[in-house]
A and B are shown apart, each in its own frame.
Chain A
């Protein structure tokens, strides 16, 4: 249960600076909190509320709308099994059953060792590769029951170092060097760009 650590708070301020209004950064910041702890802690939400200048209730309102955010600890690996139509037609539900049976948990649950959480999820945009799943948002395609068992074994034995712990999304972050930033300002302070105004002016006589 903790607030953002110092490094992440610095990063959070950098992310906030990329938006015309601070609250726009809220979803990326919630991801940052989830990356730090594996879930979004209440203390972290209070911290984010301070950083973007809203109340904790407003942060919770946003956080609770989006299903990727979990507010309690989940497994190190969150296995999202798609059961939407494309996958259902090709065995998605059977795959989910198999996962539930073999791991001994229901969808939404976490194994006692804290390694795995299974979710029954909606379409994850890999429909041609049905049935599909993702582990911490890394895709596995055309997953047979055997493939699933191997995946679980590999995760358990640490063979899947390509998959970071739950909470981490992209491994590369956008960074905008100060000298390359075009200029992001609050809407109240943003006007028509000079380059556009001058080109409009140049173009006007041609049209006339």
Chain B
């Protein structure tokens, strides 16, 4: 809601609640209307973010709509005018008591050993309702005690009260109906199909919404009692969606992350990565002291902070023009600002990039009119996906997009090189070969629906043209579908679509943590610390690495970056690392990259510092410390001030409060931020990010014709990969699967080999051998390899000077 779009005053629905006249919203369910009016109705199966099913019967209340009072489930009953509701009626109390007694007859009542004890709706309601003493003397139902239904979730069927929350979630919200009611009547149980585990990226939500202790999460089982936990609200930094979370700890250890119902962002849902990656904070491998090498061949050894800071200052100051900085998306806003100010204003460094050649050009991102998530998923809207599979990269955003298509009449147009998880919900799916997205978008925009584009279905083209031209609100979810394809093609596509839908907005689907904060605050080549465009941008990540490999950049600063694992062209990174004189790493761990550094500064991580976070919408939300960092690890902004003072400079702040004041004073998009309200604000404020810049044109970029190699490469990502966060989380580390070169069924069949066997890949840079597989998501003429998985690194196939990558695959 904005000032220019005032929402009309809600027309109230008058009704009488326990004798008091009240107002409900139009269509509001009685259970919610009562709660808003201060009357709590007990529930088990009802969940405000899912379709009500009315099956636990706990919420029965007496309702009179003019035909006499009768018991009605308040979770399924929209309030109608002049409805008379009595939640205290004897019949309602008797029904609630009865339901509670019946729920308990087969429940094991093992609260003392149950993880849910102390925060259990069944336990709570049992104190408030029910007879207090069981009249059930028969044998209870028995099942094998907790069974693993996935790598992360255990199920105790004896405790289950069959409320359908987890099963409903899996089907309705996640779209992964891998758990289901099995059997009938009193023998009904929740279970998986034999040997088909509940391997959903969203499985942890079922644990959070379980109203009893039937579902427990492996990482939290038996770790704590709820009354021993202290908590803070924060924001997940796992990806750029910025899901709101609550952090819970006991004895200075993070023990649990729960989703918070932010209406603007994640509706209480989290991916398992957002939920369980807190384990990385607790990792034994965390760095607690600064490390330094005495000489080039010496091992990293502990050193005092002051000395480390002096060495860092000296290395940067020596020749700022020959310094390249990679990373910064991991840092909170405050760390980003301090580092940006240090690098740009104090030291004069200009070659800085928080994106590792896996994102989008910074100025274009800020110049494009930005959509919020709510605007993107507006009922009846049109959503164009010009980016990676959101389920793999921004899973909670995926849930919102899926919901929009499934329940709110939004139409999705996929313009992606391979099928994404939104395919089942897409109104039109277009599969341009890498390099052709702009051509497809042009055909859509000008209505040339019969244009022949390899692999593109003309019916889908016509449908997309109809939707784009329909006058419905259009949002492009814009990201990097393919790390082996230049991002200018996607930008060209947006440019074409704007011809037909001039009011379209863009939701950047950048993936990496606080990348939007890094871009807003100048940890990027084309934007300065104040958020203004630089006329002469510095080098981007590819440029920095290439310069380093040539020897013209001699010092690399890694701000939480691990380019050896994270950059799509490992050969380039290796060459750069081999050549530079000094590598400085600010990190939580000794990664592949930071272990090559000559100086390593230990930073405080997620859950250890107060700060803030900017999500893909440009929404600012709080990060709160819940536990203390290990050893001498420090907040990133403090590290920056330490290095600044080693340079003999003063950044102008010594406290977080001063820093924020300075930040708001210097950066226009933060000028209006009320920092003191940040924690309390339910959704977090939107920054003032609008720019009146002209978006530079990409429309002229032309993909080279297929070079006769036959297959064009797509490199994309999986949620579970070899990245540090996943690998340092004990429960998640084993989840990545092995990479294969995936071909379309027809290309695969033509090859005539068995799935899993090795094939020879010829590419411009040489030949490699890799295992091959088949996937229906891959169209003919395309080859797909997921990035950063065990087994095979597709980064070796790419080159930074090519717009697309072509391959030839033959039997080994």
Answer whether A and B touch in the complex at a CB cut-off of 8 Å: yes
Interface residues of A (CB under 8 A from B): 42, 45-46, 54-61, 64-65, 67
For B, the interface residue count at a CB cutoff of 8 angstroms equals 15
Beta-carbon contact of B178 and A61 below 8 Å: no
Question: Is B649 part of the binding interface, using a Cβ–Cβ cutoff of 8 Å?
Answer: no
Shortest B375–chain A CB gap in Å is 27
Beta-carbon contact of A60 and B180 below 8 Å: yes
Shortest B286–chain A CB gap in Å is 39
Beta-carbon contact of A45 and B193 below 8 Å: yes
* Residues of B with C-beta under 8 A to A60: 180, 182, 193
Beyond known contacts A55-B176, A57-B179: 5 more, CB 8 A cutoff: A57-B177, A57-B180, A58-B180, A61-B182, A65-B181
Beta-carbon contact of A56 and B183 below 8 Å: no
* Residues of A with C-beta under 8 A to B251: none
Candidate in A54, A58, A61 with the most chain B CB atoms within 10 angstroms? A61
Beta-carbon contact of A42 and B194 below 8 Å: yes
Could you give, for residues 156-193 of chain B, a 1 whenever the CB lies within 8 Å of some chain A CB and a 0 otherwise? 00000000000000010000111111111000000111
* Residues of B with C-beta under 8 A to A64: 182-184
Q: With the chains together, A56 CA to B178 CA distance in Å?
A: 8
Residue of B nearest to A62 (CB): B180
Q: With the chains together, A65 CA to B182 CA distance in Å?
A: 7
Beta-carbon contact of A55 and B182 below 8 Å: no
Q: With the chains together, A60 CA to B376 CA distance in Å?
A: 36
Question: Is B196 part of the binding interface, using a Cβ–Cβ cutoff of 8 Å?
Answer: yes
Q: With the chains together, A51 CA to B305 CA distance in Å?
A: 64
Asked if A55 meets B183 with Cβ closer than 8 Å, knowing A42-B194, A45-B193, A60-B193, the reply is no
Shortest A3–chain B CB gap in Å is 15
Beta-carbon contact of B193 and A54 below 8 Å: no
* Residues of A with C-beta under 8 A to B182: 60-61, 64
Shortest A120–chain B CB gap in Å is 16
Q: With the chains together, A54 CA to B424 CA distance in Å?
A: 12
Q: With the chains together, A69 CA to B183 CA distance in Å?
A: 11
Beta-carbon contact of A55 and B196 below 8 Å: yes
Beta-carbon contact of B192 and A57 below 8 Å: yes
Beta-carbon contact of A61 and B181 below 8 Å: yes
**Residues 485 to 499 of chain B near chain A (Cβ within 8 Å):** none
* Residues of B with C-beta under 8 A to A56: 193, 196
Shortest A33–chain B CB gap in Å is 15
* Residues of A with C-beta under 8 A to B176: 55
* Residues of A with C-beta under 8 A to B178: 55, 57
Residue of B nearest to A67 (CB): B184
Candidate in B177, B180, B181, B184 with the most chain A CB atoms within 10 angstroms? B180
* Residues of A with C-beta under 8 A to B183: 64-65
Shortest A128–chain B CB gap in Å is 28
Q: With the chains together, A56 CA to B194 CA distance in Å?
A: 9
Shortest A31–chain B CB gap in Å is 18
Shortest B713–chain A CB gap in Å is 29
* Residues of A with C-beta under 8 A to B194: 42
Residue of B nearest to A61 (CB): B180
Residue of A nearest to B195 (CB): A42
Candidate in B181, B183, B193 with the most chain A CB atoms within 10 angstroms? B193
**Residues 350 to 382 of chain B near chain A (Cβ within 8 Å):** none
Q: With the chains together, A56 CA to B182 CA distance in Å?
A: 12
Which 7 pairs show the lowest CB-CB distances between chains A and B?
A: A61-B180, A56-B193, A57-B180, A57-B193, A64-B182, A64-B183, A65-B184
* Residues of B with C-beta under 8 A to A61: 180-182
Q: With the chains together, A42 CA to B181 CA distance in Å?
A: 16
- Which of A45, A46, A55 touches B177 (beta carbons < 8 Å)? A55
* CB-defined A-B contacts under 8 Å, sample of 23: A42-B193, A42-B194, A45-B193, A46-B193, A54-B177, A55-B193, A56-B193, A56-B196, A57-B177, A57-B178, A57-B191, A57-B193, A57-B196, A58-B171, A60-B180, A60-B182, A60-B193, A61-B182, A64-B182, A64-B183, A64-B184, A65-B184, A67-B184
Candidate in A42, A56, A58 with the most chain B CB atoms within 10 angstroms? A56
* Residues of A with C-beta under 8 A to B191: 57
Q: With the chains together, A42 CA to B194 CA distance in Å?
A: 8
Residue of B nearest to A59 (CB): B193
Q: With the chains together, A60 CA to B195 CA distance in Å?
A: 13
* Residues of A with C-beta under 8 A to B177: 54-55, 57-58
Shortest A50–chain B CB gap in Å is 12
* Residues of A with C-beta under 8 A to B181: 61, 65
Shortest A108–chain B CB gap in Å is 13
**Residues 112 to 143 of chain B near chain A (Cβ within 8 Å):** none
Q: With the chains together, A59 CA to B192 CA distance in Å?
A: 11
Shortest A186–chain B CB gap in Å is 15
Q: With the chains together, A45 CA to B195 CA distance in Å?
A: 13
Shortest B326–chain A CB gap in Å is 42
* Residues of B with C-beta under 8 A to A42: 193-194
Q: With the chains together, A57 CA to B182 CA distance in Å?
A: 8
Shortest B188–chain A CB gap in Å is 9
* Residues of B with C-beta under 8 A to A58: 171, 177, 180
* Residues of B with C-beta under 8 A to A45: 193
Q: With the chains together, A64 CA to B177 CA distance in Å?
A: 16
Shortest B128–chain A CB gap in Å is 33
Shortest A187–chain B CB gap in Å is 16
Q: With the chains together, A46 CA to B177 CA distance in Å?
A: 14
Residue of A nearest to B192 (CB): A57
* Residues of A with C-beta under 8 A to B193: 42, 45-46, 55-57, 59-60
Q: With the chains together, A61 CA to B177 CA distance in Å?
A: 10
* Residues of B with C-beta under 8 A to A54: 177
Shortest B599–chain A CB gap in Å is 52
